[in-house]
Amino acid sequence: MDVSILSLNKRYGSKVALHLEALEIASGQTFGLVGSNGAGKTTFLRLVLDLLRPTAGSVSIDGRNVAESIDWKARTSSYLDESFLIEFLTADEYLTFVGAAYGYSRRETLEALKPYQAFYPDETFGETRLYIREMSVGNAKKVGLIAAMFTAPQLLVLDEPFANLDPRSQIRLKSLLRTLNETMGTTTIVSSHDLLHVTDVCKRIAILEKGVIVRDMNTSEGTLIDLQRYFSAEAV
């Protein structure tokens, strides 16, 4: 699924949170978004998912405006923050609920979860007992990320997926994201502060500053150093 942004603008009062004249994310591309706190990354992701009303402009997925159609939702999955979790459910219940929204039966859900068991080793899918609110922050996040991935989406939108995860889980997550992209052709949009992981996972990276994309580059061997230089210069 491809994503097209046209004259997208989001203001909060007089403050411009995001202003993107044009942005195209091609089908199957892995697109990383980096930037300082408050740069507009989450606002951008919320606009892509139609969780915010844009002040002007539009986001289209496969040529259809996200605000005017819901067809895209059946093939899109996301995890932005804990508001995507239902914390009074167990992992099984939550994932079954998400599966049902995408037309999966309980059995199909459990089957689809098998490749993700290693990413969440603390409980066995099909026998989970802990409510999400009783899990550690990292485990709860893993459940949210699995919920976003197991439905084999054509478009995957993740905000800070590596934060709060232990190193082993970060590595597993990168592997899962790569597999999804390579086997399903999933278009992936990832926002992250972790430059190393984002350059590992994404083939294209944009730097967002004060609501505007200031750099847009294809990932190469030198990208990580470029990004580090950019943000070091900013810090000084």
Selected from 23, 130, 184, 196, the binder of another protein by CB under 8 A is: 130
What is the closest distance, in whole angstroms, from the C-beta atom of residue 199 to another protein in the complex?
26
For the four alpha carbons of 7, 11, 14 and 16, in that order, the dihedral sign comes to negative
Q: Is 7 left (phi over 0), alpha (psi -120 to 50) or beta?
A: left
Binders of another protein among residues 100 to 119 (CB under 8 A) are 100-102, 106
Cβ proximity to another protein: between 167 and 236 the closer is 236
Instruction: Examine residue 18 and tell whether it contacts another protein (CB under 8 A).
Output: no
Instruction: Examine residue 81 and tell whether it contacts another protein (CB under 8 A).
Output: yes
What is the closest distance, in whole angstroms, from the C-beta atom of residue 221 to another protein in the complex?
32
Q: Could you tell me which of 88, 117, 40, 95 has the C-alpha nearest to residue 5?
A: 40
φ/ψ (deg, to 5) at 214: -100, -20
Binders of another protein among residues 154 to 213 (CB under 8 A) are none
Selected from 4, 128, 191, 199, the binder of another protein by CB under 8 A is: 128
Which run of H or E residues covers position 57?
strand 56-61
Cβ proximity to another protein: between 70 and 214 the closer is 70
**3-state SS class at 161:** coil
Pairing of strands 204-209, 30-35: parallel
Q: Could you tell me which of 51, 77, 41, 3 has the C-alpha nearest to residue 160?
A: 41
Selected from 134, 166, 182, 216, the binder of another protein by CB under 8 A is: 134
**Rule CB under 8 A: which residues touch another protein?**
46, 49-53, 70, 73-74, 76-78, 80-81, 83-90, 92-93, 96-98, 100-102, 106, 128-131, 133-134
